[in-house]
Structure 1
Amino acid sequence: MNARTLRKTVTHRLGDEWLMAYAAGTLSEGQSLLVASHLSYLDDAATRLATAEAAGGALVEALRPDTMSPDALARTLALLDAPAPAPAPRAAHALPGDPLPPPLRAWLGGKSVDELPWSYLGPGMKKVKLWRGGPNDQRLWMLRAEPGVAIPLHGHSGTELVLVLKGSLEDPHGVFRIGDVEECDGSLSHGLKIGGEEECICLAVTEGPTRFKGWIARLLQPFIGL
């Protein structure tokens, strides 16, 4: 499957609220990187971002005027030092033979997926921790799992975003393939199953520690570090 066909088959897309926040520059570094990576699979990324920016501007204009708070000027001036919103990612897939999308590859300094410091996560699974920070103790990390592996039932302390970079995975929301994003909140507990045809590589942003349900997985939690 070529890159153009791949981008047209992305079915699980991030909602407009994520694009509005990305365009406004209000996402954390980890969230912004995942959103940019997701958009790099879409031919209409620039159009969607422009629409999100327009919607955000209309929303601001519709707000009723209110009395300014005493620190309004200071907060406004502080925004001048904030990083500029990231531009729309170029609609292009990873280099041949490597599944990393261009925004992620650039953030990693040009490293390939095999050059990352993968560590043991569980039977048939590896992980690499990339970043930690932002609100709600966010963690940006990658999963690499063998075909057919089942990930134990677990919940989350907040929002979880998982972008599939290679292979596929399945949960109660459906089947997620390359370019798709699976989104969960803290109210959901779910298990995941890796597709049986090839290994699966994912980029994930989670808030706070993952809460595993099985007692064995809970015992391993301190060593997992996610």
Structure 2
Amino acid sequence: MTRQTQGLLLAFLGTVLLRLSLSDAYLRYVTEWMKWPVLVSGVVMILLAIGPIFLDPDDDGHAHADGDGEGHGHRVPRVTWLLVLPGLITFVISPPALGSYLAERRLNQAAAAEPAVVADLEQGATTTMPLQEYVWRAQSGGQSMAERTIELTGFVTTDDAGWYVTRLTLGCCAADARAFRVAVEEGSVDEVPAEDQWVTVTGSYVPGTGTQFGQDPEIAVETLEQIEKPRQTYE
């Protein structure tokens, strides 16, 4: 592989990063704040590709003469072709956002993190709450959610014990995804939505559930709405 081919690969990967960052596709792989680092990385890769693409392969500063006086430009290992794979996967396969398959394998790997701001919940009003906060409040005893109406949004997962509203959280990227789920109280919903269906449920915390690490907190559902997958699927 010549340096010019290497430059074309860099330009290709830079274009992939630009395409991801200028659409919502990057949200499948990284958190929202990573948009600008991904965009800048794409621009830098394209700029780095300019030199190798337009450089004369016989006059690149590394040429040398063999016994016949023939010049040979610097060559790059063939393994560099592997750089094509991430781009092809992104453009051709376009993997969807992570869902129930991964969630079932990442459950209960860590305790829910304490929110940056813990506000008192207003009685008589419906509070829209991140699912991880609901789990954290339950693990903290659940008293802060007593007799409060709470709205949760997530996708449906199921097992032999019942069904759950589930959400994946990212620290940085999909590789460190963690799953948190809230069990729907048995009998509070007549028909279980399909797995991976996104839902918004409104209801109240079931006292005493989810207080121990590894236990699922429950919600007694009052209303359930099936919704389209949101733009940002991760918390």
TM tier relative to shorter chain: under 0.3
Name the TM-score, length of structure 2 as normaliser.
0.23
> When you count strand as a share of all residues, which structure comes out higher?
1
> When you count helix as a share of all residues, which structure comes out higher?
2
Could you say which structure has the larger radius of gyration? 2
